[in-house]
């Protein structure tokens, strides 16, 4: 498992993030406080507080590849 922290400040970025994550074969979870949401669910993403950074947990065979694809959303 790999964990990264991201920001999704606009609707366009949520859509772009969701398209990238949906193509990944493994499981991807978004963790915000006590909530854990499937990152492939766009409705689930919009249920989170998007004004704060969100933890992304990537499970699967090649989590580094997805993390690289999500580089533009990562909070440094």
CA atoms of 32 and 36, how far apart (whole Å): 7
Give the pLDDT mean for 18-38.
Answer: 97
Average pLDDT score, the chain:
97
CA atoms of 32 and 19, how far apart (whole Å): 20
Model confidence at 76: pLDDT above 90: no
Model confidence at 40: pLDDT above 90: yes
| Sequence ranges of the domains in the chain | 2-73
CATH annotation of 2-73: 3.30.1340.10
Confidence category of residue 27, pLDDT binned at 50, 70, 90: very high
Name the pTM for this structure: 0.93
């Amino acid at each position: 498992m790999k964990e990264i922290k991201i920001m999704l400040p606009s609707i366009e970025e949520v859509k772009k993030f969701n398209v990238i994550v949906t193509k990944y074969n493994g499981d991807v979870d978004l963790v915000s406080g006590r909530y854990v949401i499937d990152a492939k669910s766009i409705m689930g993403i919009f249920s989170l507080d998007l004004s704060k950074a969100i933890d992304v947990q990537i499970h699967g065979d090649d989590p580094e590849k997805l993390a690289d694809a999500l580089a533009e959303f990562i909070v440094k």
